[in-house]
Amino acid sequence: MKSYLKFLSRNKLYTAIEAAGLIVSLAFVIIIGSYVWQQLSVTRENPYRELIYVPGLPGYPGLTYGFPGVITEIPEIESVAAFCTVAPTYGQNEILWGAAVDRQFFDLLPCYRFVEGSADVISSPSNIVVSEFFARRMDLSVGDRLTLSGTEYTVGAVVEDTRGTVMKPVEAFLSIDNYKDYWQPFDNFGSTICFIKVRPGTDRKVLYDKLEAVCKNVYPDMYGQSFFDHLELTRFDELFFTDTDNLFQHGDLRTIRILLLVGLLLLLSSIFNYVNLSVALTGKRAKEMAVRQLSGASKGRIVGKYICESILFTAVCFGAGLLLAEAFCPMMNRLLGYPNVPVRIAWAPGYIIAYVAAVLTVGAICGIVPALMAGKYNALDVMKGGYRRKTKMVFSKVFIVLQNVLAVILIALAITMEAQMRKTQHRPMHCNITDKFSLSFITMEDDTPLKDALERLPFVKRIGKCSGAPGVGTGGQYSTTRDGKDILYQFYRMDSTAFRMLDFEIIEDYNAPVFNSVWFSDESFAATGLDDVYHDISELSQRTTGCDQLAGVFKAFPTNNANMGEEGYAIISVVRPEDIWAGSFLIETTGDRKEAYSKIMETYEEYAKAREVYLNYPSWLDDNFAEAMKPARNNMRLVEIFMLLSILISLLGLLAMSTYYADEKSRDIAVRKVFGGTVDTEARRSIRDYMVLVGIACLIGIPIAVFAAQEYLKDFIFRLEGYWWIFVLAVAITLAISFLAVLWQTLKAARANPAVELKKE
């Protein structure tokens, strides 16, 4: 071991590059591995995870209040639990995140561990179960009385907070019997989530067929059409990575896949560096190993020594990487948007075993090729100087090509992501959302005093009323197309002031009455099958609340704020403001937006003091689009950081290899200079040989980069087009980086005095 440490101290540049590459890459691989494992562990929270299923509507895991009661006779079903989200009010108009459940719910979801009391208390409609957080916040204990939405309950039990689970945190659980008179058994679709625990060995397809038969029986007029065209059946351990419309905690498989890929590339880049430099430096230890062989050491023992040294080196780097990972965890959580399951460096026994396995695996991979190279040559041949003559550096050339392939792919992906983000940020709105503020609230009180007070503010230009707007979510409305097919519209309701305020790009105006008429976006107009000749919508609409005339067609605005997934078909009904009872004031302002926001909220708070009114999410319309892009932007920045690190590691490796090449070729250059060679000719020769390898890497990397870019872009609605220039730029950057990395050392070797170099021999 002393000889190995002495060798490292004599080759400080190579050691520093190997260590820096491994430490940085291992740090981020540890972070990524922890994030992925902790995300995947969420789906393993429930011991019955493979036995519990949730039936529901397409894209929404909920059915109706009566459904759990009609499936208990299915023989494959062992037990059924019902869960309904409710929002009782507490104190001064505070809305709680609550749930109405039955007794079986706590049996099927043991993540709710009881601190005080037991699950039996929920059987009584007069009892309530509260979370630890809510109990601490309100200073509640078992036996205390609590009034929610005007009804008094007794705190019967307290459960632990469910952080880091599939279930969203719930502050209060009420008995589902409290709501049996409010919900129709087979209407109010989506009101009830049904957890079904099946018997072990149950076939999923058999269960689905029997549940579908029940749906056809109890929903004869709804099943198979419009919003309930088929039943979806989701297993519990699939919920976390399924789009459930925010009913459950949600993990991002796309982010996980991207991070896994980038982490793998980062690790490969550092391993290539280590192997490449170790192979290149094998010659510097050749005589040491030859002496060991001549002293009786077997080749197997020498190979084992190399691998053990590599594992030791990796272990030291891994320890430093763990400390670096701990330091970078807050940045990772910030870039991931502070996930429900934050990234943390854990020290549980399972993690320690994984750390040890990672050190052994990476160390063995890093050491095996140099070890085999070291044991390849005959000891006597090495002592005579034959090792140098036989070294063709084939492995080094292969790894140089592989490193540059990675560089091309990563540079191309980084540029693609940045270009797509800029494309998204500048996508056309086809309406004016600048300085438009949405003040959304729900009340049965007269909102005229609030509107009058807002209009008196000096920076307010005009106020309209709407339910939904560009950048503000809205509900869907099913209707029919011209040929009788179902279609789901994004349905917006506005008064005439709000409609004019948004200044939509009007394509066609059919001069319909101002109120109770419908505007179609050009995309929804085309999808419905209408045209300039035929545009009578009276026979198309199923639920347009009296709006049966087509007012006109406007250029479609983005209905998907994040630009990911699918765009909706927008329709806008223009109605009188009094017909919009649950909506928003749309306020057009001038001047400083920060001051405007402050004054608007002060005015609202004054209005809400003596009234029963519930505030939704107040926001600027354009800020909503920016906010929706934050996850994609943060992920992009995170991936770009990893890509830049990988490129930096490759660059350091190229610099080290150019130093090694220059050292190895110094004698050949000296001989050619004696016979008439010049600095220019020798520099060009060496650089040309190196750049040929880079050119080969570009030819291999570009097709892979094209495929990766296409995969990344396919989920965007308004996506990058004509992006061939990205790959040209990636090649140019790779060539420039490689050229600059080798130029310095090549010129240094070419300018050396031939006499000095030949004397070394």
Alpha-carbon distances of 750 from 258, 396, 657, 680, 691, rounded to whole Å: 44, 21, 16, 8, 17
- Reading the block at residue 34, the tokens are 């922890």
Of 399, 385, 397, 398, nearest to 286 (Cα)?
Answer: 385
**Predicted confidence band of residue 409 (pLDDT cuts 50, 70, 90):** confident
Q: How confident is the model at residue 390 (pLDDT cuts 50, 70, 90)?
A: very low
Q: Say which range, 23-27, 388-392, 673-677, has the weakest mean pLDDT.
A: 388-392
605-633 pLDDT, tens digit per residue, is 888 887 777 777 889 999 988 888 877 77
Q: Supply the pLDDT for residue 389.
A: 44
- List the one residue out of 259, 221, 184 whose CA is nearest residue 642: 259
Flag whether pLDDT at 563 surpasses 60.
yes
How far is 247 from 54, CA to CA, in rounded Å? 12
3-state secondary structure of 199: coil
Residue 314 has a pLDDT of 87
Is the confidence at residue 673, as pLDDT, over 60? no
For residues 84 and 135, the answer to whether their CB atoms sit within 8 Å is no
For residue 603, what pLDDT band results from cuts at 50, 70 and 90? very high
d(C-alpha 575, C-alpha 491), whole Å: 13
- Distance, CA of 496 to CA of 500 (rounded, Å): 6
**Between 588 and 751, where is the model more confident?**
588
Q: Can you name the residues that pair with 654 across neighbouring β-strands?
A: none
Give the mean pLDDT of 665-676: 59
- The 10 Å Cβ neighbour count of residue 598 is 11
Return the structure tokens found at 688.
Answer: 């040309």
- The band of 588, judged by pLDDT with boundaries at 50, 70 and 90, is very high
What does the block give as tokens for 159? 């459960």
In angstroms, rounded to a whole number, what is the distance separating the alpha carbons of residues 21 and 276?
12
pLDDT at 366: 79
Sequence-separated (6 or more) residues with CB below 8 Å from residue 276: 395, 396, 399, 400, 403, 653, 657
Rg of the Cα atoms in the chain: 34
**Alpha-carbon distance 464 to 503, whole Å?**
13
pLDDT at 417 over 90: no
What's the chain's average pLDDT? 82
pLDDT in tens, 122-167: 989 999 999 998 898 888 899 999 888 878 899 999 998 877 788 8
Reported as a single tens digit per residue, the pLDDT across 489-533 is: 888 989 999 999 999 999 999 888 888 888 999 999 998 888 887
Q: Which segment, 73-82, 172-181, 361-370, 390-399, is predicted with the most confidence on average?
A: 73-82
**Spatial CB neighbours of 88, under 8 Å, sequence gap ≥ 6:** 95, 96, 98, 148, 149, 172, 174
pLDDT of residue 657: 65
CA distance 416 to 723: 8
Q: Is the pLDDT score of 641 beyond 90? A: no
Tokens, residue 706: 């094209």
Select from 1, 25, 54 the least CA-distant residue to 244. 54
Residue 197 has pLDDT above 80, yes or no: yes
Write the pLDDT tens digit of every residue in 419-476. Answer: 998 898 889 999 999 999 999 887 778 888 999 999 999 999 999 999 889 998 777 7
32-46, 234-248, 536-550, 583-597: which range is least confident on average? Answer: 536-550
Which residue blocks in 281-348 are alpha helix, DSSP H? 286-294, 299-335
Query: Reduced to 3 states, what is the DSSP secondary structure of residue 426?
Result: coil
pLDDT band for 344, please (50, 70, 90 cuts): confident
C-alpha pair distances (Å), 398 with each of 165, 392, 403 = 46, 12, 9
Q: For residues 302 and 621, give the distance between their C-alpha atoms in angstroms, rounded to a whole number.
A: 68
Q: Where are the beta strands (DSSP E) in 141-244?
A: 145-148, 151-159, 172-175, 193-198, 232-235
In the chain, the percentage of residues whose pLDDT exceeds 70 is: 82
Is 60 exceeded by the pLDDT of residue 760? no
Output the CA angle 343-106-178, nearest 5 degrees.
120
CA-nearest of 616, 621, 477 to 540 is: 477
What was the pLDDT predicted at 682?
Answer: 59
The pLDDT assigned to 365 comes to: 83
Residues 574 and 562: their CA atoms lie apart, in Å, by: 26
- By mean pLDDT, which of 103-107, 279-283, 379-383, 424-428 is the weakest? 379-383
Lowest mean pLDDT among 34-43, 387-396, 449-458, 575-584: 387-396
pLDDT of residue 431: 95
pLDDT at 296 over 90: no
Task: Answer yes or no: is pLDDT of 19 > 50.
Answer: yes
Q: How confident is the model at residue 52 (pLDDT cuts 50, 70, 90)?
A: very high
Q: With beta carbons less than 8 A apart as the criterion, state whether 557 and 521 touch.
A: yes
Model confidence at 76, in pLDDT bands (50, 70, 90)? very high
Q: Which residues are paired to 613 by β-bridges? A: 443
Give the domain ranges of the chain: 1-49+251-391, 58-230, 413-426+624-761, 445-611
Between CA 249 and CA 134 the distance in angstroms is 19
Residue 547 · residue 519 · CB < 8 Å? no
